[in-house]
Structure formats: structure tokens, C-alpha cells
Chain A
């Protein structure tokens, strides 16, 4: 089907680098998310793959076709790239019914009528909209419209599917169920997917690999678990999940925290000043043991966990406890902390 090879792609709007030296190799059948805060250039990158924006520099290849190479003047327009795309605003045509919307790519390809009907119905089945074929978009809910868009993107069996924040206009519950539905579809069809989102949970749940972007620059390309547990730099650590940042000094399998007046054993590959990130759920709170002593400032009950603020020296640490901390501790109480997983970055 289609792998995607993006080599040194840069996009400038005037003097602004929307995307800066983007390199990625997306394998055939892989589900890759581009994740980053709003305005970091995700949409711009996706639209360059689709052919709606021209790269200022660099090369993009889909399968064995070079679709964009700025210095060679190669630029294949969107309609010749054989990709499927789902837009944030659905972009379902209001003047066509569901069937015609979905059948449109086949109609353009001049697929014979009987084949067209069969394949459109298959695509509608795939997204569970078979009985809505005759409806018009204004008679559908947001989620259903999004499914129409999905069926339309898939009907021509493209090798590559692009999605730009497809779930962000849906309500929270629907969003979660659609995540799984899209993932299931992708597995079933074996299609390559590039999925743009600013929602880390979405990216985590669905992707084989995540490309984390910040201000137009790739920060890390990795599997979800690696991105979460071994972020490449403080930016990624900060963007994905919650973290406490501490200043420390790395030396010989140890990190010393001056502010906390203690050190912890850690497996670090460098020596010298370090920026250390610890996730709140990787800090254990205890009444009796731990290598850090602190005072519980306050705590919030979150149902499945307790969100605590603990003052160690003059550093406030956020701790999330999955146990019964809310009932067991009272504000102002002295507590002990120990770190599970820490992430250290040279400064």
C-alpha cells in the first residue's frame, strides 16, 4: 500500500516557520499521530502531505511516488495523490445525501454503477451507516457526519488516510468510542494513517508511534509508552502528562537535589547539572518511609485518585495517589515521599 517518506520539509508563511526541517518515515500500515499544542504546525504538515500547501523546502514521497520536491519543481495536486482525508469540520457536502457523499470519489473515478453501489454500501457498512444512505447531512448528528466523512475517505481504498483533529468537535463520550472505532477500522483495513491531534490521550490510545511537535520542530518520534516514560526532552515531558520539574546534579548513578537536601539513585548517562522531571503518579506518599520528608499542604479528591500538594523544603511537589490517601492523611501532616521513575535531562 503506502508508506510516507518526509525528508527535510520546511514550510514558511512569510518569515514564520510553521514547519521546520520535518523528517519522518511512516511505514506501510502504521498508525502515526502528529501531536503538539495548537499552532505548532501539525495541520500545516498534514496539508503538505495532502497537497493543499506547497512545502518551502524538502521532499515528500507517498509509496514510490514523489509527490512534492520543491527544488525539482515537482508538485502533485491533491486529486492525484490517492489519499483519503477527514477534516475537523467534517466537510460533508450538505447538498448531497449520505450515499452520494460517500460515492463521490468512485464517481470521479468513473466506477461502473453496480460496482459503485456495492462499494459505497460496503463503506457505509464499515461505519455503521447503512440505513442512513438516503438521509441528508442536516438530518445527522455530528458523530454520524464524521462517520460519513470517514466512509468517504475510505471508499476509494486509498493507501493513506489523513485525519486532522477529526474528533475535536464531538462530545467527550462519543470521542472516546470513536477512537476505538477508528483504530479498529485501521487494523481491519491495514491502511497507513497519519492522525493529527492536540489531545495526548487520543494519540496514546490509537498510535503505533507518535511524532511530538513544538513550534514547528519535531521533538520526538517514538511509541506512546516511550514518549510517556522516556521523553526526549523537558518540552515533551511537560506537554505529555503531568510533571514536577526539579533542578539536580547528576553524578555516578546518582542525582543530588540541593533544594531537597537529598539524592536518589538513578540510571543516568551523563554527568553535571540536570533538569529532572517526575510524574505525580510516580511519587509514592507514605506515613513512615521514603527518602524525602515533607508536609502535606492540601489534597483534592478526584474519585479514582487523590491529588496532593506536598511541600519539601520550599519546593511544592504534586503527588497523585491511587490509594486511600484522601481518607488517611490530613492537611498539614508530615509525610515521606519516594520517587519511582524519574526522567533526567542534561542542562
Chain B
């Protein structure tokens, strides 16, 4: 009996171990090496790099800008998201389903595409909104200037707010509505109840959502670079890229010191949010709870609807409309009319191999990253949910760590680690890009797959093994059909962000491996807004198609 079992379990553990080993090589090793390189000079502990970096005013300014921008965006995002989540989740606001989909979907729009759109709308010379206001209100000069701290906070808030919205909405859906009703019968008005019960109960999720926004904004490169650089506003990520582009040892060393600072800040915050708040999460007793009793907005119904609709129009439709129109316009200096529209820009762009090659690259890279991440993800999720092995949570934690680490840090760590130092030279290859995407987005597939694995009762697998199936056979015949939708969903959740990734790509790409994100960034910085818009629309289309596919495979369960 025992003999018969042994080889089967061996296959299982070999596969799991391979998945874990790849994580160790590509996540743990580079991160540790990055930290090591930043502190060790000629074999001894030395904080010289940090001293050099932080003795320069530019870097201090970058640090303080990063903190300021992240803080403002976080506060704004929470202030916007909480009422939105409340209105959509708890009241009789019309069109709730539509709004929920809309604000959740914004999560998938790459923020730098948003930044490009807002530059088209609000740049001081030719921004659509500025021009419109100047002409119609007879202003002496443009009322808005996107190239400013305010402009950066504006763009970042709009496109990172969905992080907070999703977190807060989920918690609000899980909350027992009778907790609010108990307050009402105690004599408290709806507003008082919101203040005394709803907000305090939501506090952990508000904080968690806020931290996600903070980390996201602090790690962002595209938007701060596109919007901030023209105004000479630098943040940590842009400084790091500048140092890396200097290309010499000294540049890399200082980039390393800055990157480690950023990594510690981001991961420290994540640690706080996971362990500091984990204990405070309020578990409420499940009873056969009543259906949520929706707050009747009464005379506020239509004003609230208009505000939410207005926000949707400004945060989603206006920017999308802007890139779409820009990609179709004949002459930027003439007004937007039907006969000023053309498909010529599209045609030229799609025939230009300088554009189609990066597009193909991104497709190949994203497919490779998604496929490999899915395979590794299955094993890590299986290890986490379906075994009792000691340390089974570690690979999952590593995947989470990768996801929470700023892309720029991952990219830098990969470069210094795999430029021949450990017998592996991946510099300027497709491989290093794929590795970067996997490190960053693996957690998406692990999370999606483990969620569905947790629903598969262990007896199903045991029954298969008892019937004489090998582990792989049981995986194929029993597990796979049950978890397939979430595996496919997880694949899309890695594919989409990999496809339009910018922050890591800008550091890791080589002349033969340019990606669509990098190309778009270049077009934007070299002031070719029309071609940039074509690419931006292509990215938005991919996101849209990906989302529809995601909804279909997961039957609306994992709709983004």
C-alpha cells in the first residue's frame, strides 16, 4: 500500500517545489541582493550610498514630493470613494449596478493613459477643457494647468481611487445591515448612524483601502513622469529612473539606495495594514440576516445621482473621450467637428512597424507572463489551501510581497541580480520582462485560484485518490473542472496589467524588446499626442475585451 502511494506524492511535491524554487530565485534573491548592494560596499556594512543620496536636495525634494502627493491623493481618494461606496451599496440611488461596474472597471485603466488624456484636456496651451472655457467664458488665460502638483494629484487620485472604492465597497457589502438599524431604533437619524456606526465599523477597510492607494501612488512612475517632469516636479520613482538611465555604477548605486527606501516604505505600510489592522477587523455574528434595508434618499435622490453621474463622466468618460477624439482628429488646431475627423492616423500607425512591433512584443510578453504565472499560481494556491505542509503560507506571502513591491524596485533588483552576477545574464531579453511581470502580478492568479480552491471540499480529491487516480489525474479530472473558471480569470488578471505595464518595462526593455507602454511613453514625451492616443485607445480596447472575457468566464463573479 505505502509503496504504491509514494511515487504519486513525489510528482506532486516535485511540482510544488519547482514552483516555490522559482519564487525564491526570482523574488527573494533579487530583493535581498538589492538590499545587500545598497548597504554593503566592498564587503563591509556602509551607509555611504544613503548618505550620498540624502545629502542632495533634489532627492529630499523627490522624497517629500512623493509623500505629499501620495498623502493628498490618498485622502482625496478615500473622501471620494467612501460616499460613492455608501451611495452605491446602501441607498436607493438609481443606476447602482451601472455605477458599480463603472468605478470598479476604472481600476483596469492604466493610470498613465489617464494622465495622457488629462494632459490633452487640461494642458495650458491647447487643452480641450481650457480652450473651451477660455472661448466661452472669455477668460484672459487658461484656468487650469495640468503640469503642476495639483495636476499630478488630480490624475493620480482619479485613477487610484478605485483601489479604495473596491476595498470599501466589499466591506460595506459584508457588513450586517442590522447594526445600522439598531442605531436607528435607538433614536439616531440616518446621518448620525452613518457617523456613529457605519464609519467606525468601516474604519479598518477605509484605512486598508487608503494604504493601497498610498502605495500605488508612491510607486507610480508613468503619471508623475508625464505630468510632473515638464513642471520639474520630481518624485522618488522618477529620480530612480533618472539615476538608472545615467548608466554608470554610481548612478545604479544611488538608484539602489533610493529604491530600498521606497521598498521599505511601501512594504512597511503593507505589513502594517495586514497585521496591525488584521486584529481589528470586526467579525459580526452571522444570523439569517435581513436583506439590507436601503436608505431612502428621498429628495436627495436626484441630486446624489447627478453628482455620482458627474463624477463618472469626469473620471471615466471625459478622459476616454479625449484620447478617442484625439486619435481621430485631422487637425488639432481646428475645432472638433465631424469633417475634422479621420482614420488616417490609425491607418498610418497600424502600418508603422515601429508601432506594431512593440504591440506584438507586449502581446507575447503578456501571454507568456500570464501563462507561467497561472501555472505557478495553481501550485502555490494548492500548497496553500489543500495541504497541511509547514510553511505552506510562505510562497503565497512571497507572491503578495512581489505584488506590493513598487515595480521600479523589482525592475532594478532584477537588473542588478541578473546581469551576469549569478550566472544568469538576462539583460535586455524578453525573459527579464516576463520575470518582472510575473513577480509583480503573480499574486493576482494565486489569490483568484486559492479563493476557488477553498470552495473545493477535500473529500472530492480524496475520493479520486481512493479510486486509484494519481495525483496528477485527480488534479486533471476533479480539481481542474471545478477551478477552471477562476484559473482563466486569474490568467486575464495577469495578462491585462502585463500588457500595458510601464514602470518596470521602462527599465527592463532593450532595443529589440520595446513594449507598448514604453512606446506610448516615448510618443507622449516626444509630443506626438495623436499617435499616443491611437495606442492609448488600443490599450483601452484590450482592457475592455479582457474585462468582458473575465466576466464571461467567471460568470460575473470576478468581474472587474
Contact = CB atoms under 8 A, between A and B. Distances in A.
Interface of A: 43, 47, 50-53, 77-79, 81-85, 87-95, 104-105, 108-109, 138, 142, 145, 149, 152-153, 156, 162, 168-169
B76 interface: no
B44 interface: no
Residue of A77, A95, A105, A145 with most partner-chain B CB within 10 A: A95
Contacts, number: 92
B186 A108 contact: yes
A82 B186 CA distance: 8
A145 B287 CA distance: 13
A89 B287 contact: yes
A81 B197 CA distance: 20
Given A43-B290, A52-B293, A95-B282, A87 B186 contact: no
Interface of B: 176, 178-179, 181-190, 192, 196-197, 200-201, 203, 282-290, 293
B366 to A, nearest CB: 43
Given A78-B185, A79-B188, A104-B183, A91 B293 contact: no
Nearest to B287: A89
A138 B181 contact: no
B289 A89 contact: yes
Nearest to A142: B285
Given A79-B187, A108-B188, A91 B282 contact: no
Contacts of A43: 290
A149 B186 CA distance: 11
B200 A95 contact: yes
A94 B176 CA distance: 11
A47 B185 CA distance: 11
Given A94-B282, A142-B285, A85 B185 contact: yes
B284 A94 contact: yes
A104 B186 contact: yes
Nearest to B288: A88
Given A52-B293, A93-B201, A95-B282, A88 B186 contact: no
A78 B284 CA distance: 23
A95 B176 CA distance: 14
B184 A77 contact: yes
Contacts of B287: 87-90, 168-169
B187 A108 contact: yes
Residue of B186, B188, B196 with most partner-chain A CB within 10 A: B186
Contacts of B197: 93
8 contacts: A79-B186, A84-B185, A88-B289, A91-B176, A93-B183, A93-B200, A104-B196, A156-B187
Contact of B286 (A50, A82, A89): A89
A35 to B, nearest CB: 17
B187 A47 contact: no
A97 B260 CA distance: 42
Contacts of A142: 285
A85 B182 contact: yes
Nearest to B286: A89
A220 to B, nearest CB: 25
